[in-house]
Amino acid sequence: MTHPLLDIAPSVAAALAEGRPVVALESTIITHGMPWPQNLDMARTVEATVRDGGAEPATIAVMGGKIRIGLEDDALQALAKTPPEQVMKLSRADLAVCLANGRTGATTVAATMICADLAGIRVFATGGIGGVHRGAETSLDISADLQELARTPVTVVAAGAKAILDLPKTLEVLETLGVPVIAYGQDAFPAFWSRDSGLSAPLQMNSAAEIAKSARLRASLGLPGGQLVANPIPVDAEIAAAEINPIIEQALKEAMSAGIAAKAVTPFLLSRIFELTDGRSLDSNIKLVLNNARLGADIAKEMAGR
Ligand code: PSU
């Protein structure tokens, strides 16, 4: 029995029923993470990449009082075109409110994990998770994504945490919460637009099979929560830390003087960095998401035993 609030697309329902691999995809990256029309192009290409990788994509969003698991192209297009101010950015706190008032909502990493879990999807690919914001010692701005990784059993493939964050504190909080942070194929924790944050990742794995196995063993030990797989951006798409860091600093300063806070911080920073890099940061962002979709499909296939 699927949950009555879920509206599962036929292609996803069939894959789940047959035990075929499925990869969840989020929608905040579409509505609040990238500008129109590149956002639609990215959403379609990510889905195609998951399919080419041998898994079924399931983009998740809230529409018309239902949690949609898998969006047909018309819904994807409508969502991508809607101005971000008209779409709720959903985390654990707002998911039920959005369903109750019938509004359209885009799921962040946290909300996508909750919905994927309800649908029985164990793998989710995105760009970068939210984390501890710089200045958190006074603002206390810590993304609900971190708590979610500690409680919901979904393996999240991301290019690390976004470099706009305080990465050492983000890793500390993940450690406190008992979340396995697994760098893929290298020792360094990747920093979204660059491959190396200068920090060591707590754990390293080099194959999708190992990652699928550790998810299974975690469940069999009765440990709640998921895993964060930190997959470095491909070399040819990377913006070196020395180049992107001053741009991040500038965007952060502007956010501070404009009084940007709470849910508006990440979208503001991403779009300012896009402007300040003449679009290069967006190109990199799209390439790292595609790279994560490929690894997500491989992990989903291993989990499905294919
Ligand atoms: N990955 C991207 N771009 C994004 C996001 C992820 O490449 O915009 C979104 C995810 O939905 C993530 C959110 O949950 O950014 C983090 O927002 P915050 O820092 O407000 O928690």
Smallest CA separation from ligand 1 atom 10, residue: 108
Nearest-angstrom CA–CA distance, 279 and 287: 13
DSSP state of 210: H
- Is 187 part of any known ligand binding site? no
* Measured CA distances, 199 to 92, 175, 189, 202, 283 (Å): 29, 14, 6, 9, 24
The overall average pLDDT reported for the chain is: 97
One-letter identity of residue 82: T
| Percent of the chain residues topping a pLDDT of 70 | 100
Residue type, 219: A
Write down the pLDDT at residue 299: 98
| Domains identified in the chain and CATH numbers | 6-304 (3.40.1790.10)
9 pLDDT more than 80: yes
> Can you give the pLDDT at residue 306?
76
Q: What is the position in ligand 1's atom list of the atom closest to the CA of 28?
A: 11
pLDDT of residue 157: 99
**Is the whole-model pTM more than 0.95?**
yes
| pLDDT for the residue 272 | 97
Predicted confidence (pLDDT) per residue in 59-100, tens digit: 999 999 999 999 999 999 999 999 999 999 999 999 999 999
Residue 152 pLDDT: 98
- Atom number, ligand 1, closest to the C-alpha of residue 143: 21
Average pLDDT over residues 136-155: 96
Q: Which residues contact 18 (CB under 8 A, 6 or more apart)?
A: none
Q: What is the ipTM of this complex?
A: 0.97
18 included as an active-site residue: no
pLDDT at 250: 97
CA distances from 295 to 31, 201, 291 (A): 23, 18, 7
Residue-wise burial string across 159-177, b where 16 or more C-beta atoms lie within 10 A, e elsewhere: bbbbbbbbbebbbebbeee
Ligand 1 nearest-atom number relative to CA 126: 1
pLDDT tens across 25-43, in order? Answer: 999 999 999 999 999 999 9
**144 annotated as a binding-site residue:** yes
Q: Which residues line ligand 1 at a C-beta cut-off of 6 Å?
A: 26, 28-29, 32-33, 108-109, 126-128, 130, 143, 145, 263, 266, 270, 285, 289
Name the strand (E) or helix (H) holding 211.
helix 208-220
Among residues 239, 160, 164, which one has the least CA distance to residue 199?
160
Residue 119 has pLDDT above 80, yes or no: yes
CA of 96 to the centre of ligand 1 (A): 19
pLDDT digits (tens, 9 = 90+) for 173-229: 999 999 999 999 999 999 999 999 999 999 999 999 999 999 999 999 999 999 999
At residue 1 the predicted structure's pLDDT band, cuts being 50, 70 and 90, is confident
Helix or strand or coil: residue 42?
helix
Pair of tokens at residue 34 = 């990238």
94 labelled ligand-binding: no
| pLDDT tens column, 247-297 | 999 999 999 999 999 999 999 999 999 999 999 999 999 999 999 999 999
Which residues have CB under 8 Å from 286's CB, separation 6+?
A: 34, 38, 42, 45
